[in-house]
Amino acid sequence: MSTETLSKDALRAVQHFEDKLQFEWGPFSLNKQLQDKLPVQIIDLRTPELYAKAHIPGAQNILYEDLGKHLSKLNKEIPTVVYCYDLLCSLATRAALLLAQNGFNVKELVGGFDEWKAKDFPQEDKVNQSASSCSTTKGSSCC
Protein backbone atom coordinates (compact mmCIF):
# COMPACT_ATOMS: atom_id res chain seq x y z
CA MET A 1 0.00 0.00 0.00
CA SER A 2 1.24 3.45 -0.83
CA THR A 3 1.77 5.76 2.14
CA GLU A 4 0.35 8.62 0.06
CA THR A 5 -3.20 7.44 0.80
CA LEU A 6 -2.76 7.02 4.55
CA SER A 7 -4.21 9.33 7.17
CA LYS A 8 -1.95 11.53 9.28
CA ASP A 9 -2.33 9.15 12.26
CA ALA A 10 -1.58 6.12 10.11
CA LEU A 11 1.56 7.82 8.75
CA ARG A 12 2.67 8.57 12.31
CA ALA A 13 2.11 4.91 13.20
CA VAL A 14 4.15 3.77 10.19
CA GLN A 15 7.00 6.07 11.22
CA HIS A 16 6.79 4.90 14.85
CA PHE A 17 6.98 1.20 13.97
CA GLU A 18 9.74 1.74 11.42
CA ASP A 19 11.73 3.56 14.11
CA LYS A 20 10.94 0.88 16.66
CA LEU A 21 12.33 -1.82 14.38
CA GLN A 22 15.41 0.28 13.69
CA PHE A 23 16.27 1.00 17.31
CA GLU A 24 15.30 -2.15 19.18
CA TRP A 25 16.89 -5.58 19.20
CA GLY A 26 15.33 -8.72 20.58
CA PRO A 27 17.37 -11.31 22.45
CA PHE A 28 17.83 -13.36 19.27
CA SER A 29 19.41 -10.43 17.41
CA LEU A 30 21.83 -9.69 20.24
CA ASN A 31 22.70 -13.36 20.67
CA LYS A 32 23.45 -13.62 16.92
CA GLN A 33 25.69 -10.54 17.16
CA LEU A 34 27.61 -12.22 20.00
CA GLN A 35 27.76 -15.62 18.29
CA ASP A 36 29.08 -14.04 15.09
CA LYS A 37 31.66 -12.15 17.21
CA LEU A 38 30.55 -8.85 15.69
CA PRO A 39 31.45 -5.68 17.61
CA VAL A 40 28.89 -4.62 20.18
CA GLN A 41 29.01 -2.68 23.42
CA ILE A 42 26.47 -3.88 26.00
CA ILE A 43 25.36 -1.85 29.01
CA ASP A 44 23.49 -3.48 31.89
CA LEU A 45 21.58 -0.83 33.85
CA ARG A 46 20.44 -3.10 36.68
CA THR A 47 21.75 -3.01 40.24
CA PRO A 48 25.30 -4.21 40.86
CA GLU A 49 23.88 -7.04 42.98
CA LEU A 50 21.77 -8.45 40.13
CA TYR A 51 24.59 -7.86 37.64
CA ALA A 52 26.89 -9.89 39.90
CA LYS A 53 24.43 -12.80 39.96
CA ALA A 54 24.05 -12.96 36.16
CA HIS A 55 24.38 -10.73 33.11
CA ILE A 56 24.80 -10.92 29.34
CA PRO A 57 28.37 -11.90 28.40
CA GLY A 58 30.54 -8.83 27.87
CA ALA A 59 28.07 -6.42 29.47
CA GLN A 60 29.29 -3.47 31.50
CA ASN A 61 27.29 -2.54 34.60
CA ILE A 62 26.58 1.19 34.62
CA LEU A 63 23.77 2.61 36.71
CA TYR A 64 21.53 5.00 34.78
CA GLU A 65 22.30 7.87 37.13
CA ASP A 66 26.04 7.39 36.42
CA LEU A 67 25.79 6.93 32.65
CA GLY A 68 26.54 10.57 31.81
CA LYS A 69 29.86 10.32 33.66
CA HIS A 70 30.91 7.32 31.54
CA LEU A 71 30.08 8.62 28.05
CA SER A 72 33.68 9.56 27.26
CA LYS A 73 34.80 6.02 28.09
CA LEU A 74 32.33 4.37 25.72
CA ASN A 75 32.95 3.68 22.02
CA LYS A 76 30.67 5.58 19.62
CA GLU A 77 31.99 3.58 16.65
CA ILE A 78 30.23 0.30 17.48
CA PRO A 79 26.59 -0.52 18.24
CA THR A 80 25.64 -0.03 21.87
CA VAL A 81 22.88 -2.18 23.34
CA VAL A 82 21.27 -1.19 26.63
CA TYR A 83 19.10 -3.33 28.85
CA CYS A 84 17.50 -3.29 32.25
CA TYR A 85 15.23 -5.69 34.14
CA ASP A 86 12.19 -6.52 32.05
CA LEU A 87 9.71 -5.30 29.49
CA LEU A 88 8.18 -2.81 31.93
CA CYS A 89 11.46 -1.19 32.97
CA SER A 90 12.08 2.23 31.41
CA LEU A 91 15.76 2.58 32.39
CA ALA A 92 16.95 1.17 29.06
CA THR A 93 14.72 3.56 27.11
CA ARG A 94 16.00 6.52 29.13
CA ALA A 95 19.61 5.37 28.67
CA ALA A 96 19.08 4.84 24.94
CA LEU A 97 17.75 8.38 24.64
CA LEU A 98 20.74 9.82 26.51
CA LEU A 99 23.18 7.82 24.37
CA ALA A 100 21.41 8.80 21.12
CA GLN A 101 21.50 12.46 22.17
CA ASN A 102 25.27 12.06 22.52
CA GLY A 103 25.83 10.51 19.09
CA PHE A 104 25.82 6.79 19.89
CA ASN A 105 24.41 4.12 17.57
CA VAL A 106 22.16 2.66 20.26
CA LYS A 107 19.66 -0.17 20.45
CA GLU A 108 17.37 -1.13 23.30
CA LEU A 109 17.13 -4.83 24.19
CA VAL A 110 13.41 -5.64 24.13
CA GLY A 111 12.32 -7.40 27.30
CA GLY A 112 15.54 -6.69 29.16
CA PHE A 113 17.48 -9.33 31.03
CA ASP A 114 14.32 -11.30 31.84
CA GLU A 115 13.75 -12.07 28.13
CA TRP A 116 17.43 -12.91 27.61
CA LYS A 117 17.26 -15.35 30.52
CA ALA A 118 13.90 -16.79 29.38
CA LYS A 119 15.48 -17.68 26.02
CA ASP A 120 18.22 -19.54 27.92
CA PHE A 121 20.98 -17.55 26.22
CA PRO A 122 24.50 -17.51 27.75
CA GLN A 123 25.06 -15.62 30.97
CA GLU A 124 28.08 -14.60 33.00
CA ASP A 125 28.32 -13.98 36.70
CA LYS A 126 30.72 -11.70 38.52
CA VAL A 127 32.98 -14.62 39.50
CA ASN A 128 33.30 -16.00 35.96
CA GLN A 129 33.18 -12.83 33.90
CA SER A 130 35.48 -11.20 31.42
CA ALA A 131 33.32 -8.06 31.37
CA SER A 132 33.87 -5.01 33.49
CA SER A 133 31.57 -3.42 36.01
CA CYS A 134 31.12 0.33 35.89
CA SER A 135 28.98 0.75 38.96
CA THR A 136 29.83 3.13 41.72
CA THR A 137 29.99 0.46 44.39
CA LYS A 138 33.20 -0.01 46.32
CA GLY A 139 35.66 -2.33 44.66
CA SER A 140 34.15 -2.18 41.18
CA SER A 141 36.26 -1.37 38.18
CA CYS A 142 35.17 1.19 35.63
CA CYS A 143 34.91 0.95 31.86
- For position 107, which CATH number holds? 3.40.250.10
- Structural domain containing residue 62: 26-143
Closest CA to 123 of 40, 27, 36, 45: 27
User: Does residue 99 belong to any structural domain of this protein?
Assistant: yes
Mean local confidence (pLDDT), 21-49: 97
User: Does residue 3 belong to any structural domain of this protein?
Assistant: no
The pLDDT, as a whole number, for residue 18 is 95
Is the pLDDT score of 73 beyond 80?
Answer: yes
Is the pLDDT score of 72 beyond 90?
Answer: yes
User: Does residue 119 belong to any structural domain of this protein?
Assistant: yes
Alpha-carbon 21 to chain mean position: 14
User: Does residue 20 belong to any structural domain of this protein?
Assistant: no
d(CA 47, CA 105): 24
DSSP state of 15: H
d(CA 77, CA 80): 9
Phi, psi (rounded to 5 degrees) for 76: -75, -10
User: Does residue 90 belong to any structural domain of this protein?
Assistant: yes
Say if CB 28 and CB 119 are below 8 A apart: yes
The number of domains in the chain is 1
User: Does residue 133 belong to any structural domain of this protein?
Assistant: yes
User: Does residue 1 belong to any structural domain of this protein?
Assistant: no
Residue 128 banded pLDDT, cuts 50, 70, 90? low
User: Does residue 110 belong to any structural domain of this protein?
Assistant: yes
Is the pLDDT score of 107 beyond 80?
Answer: yes
Mean local confidence (pLDDT), 54-61: 98
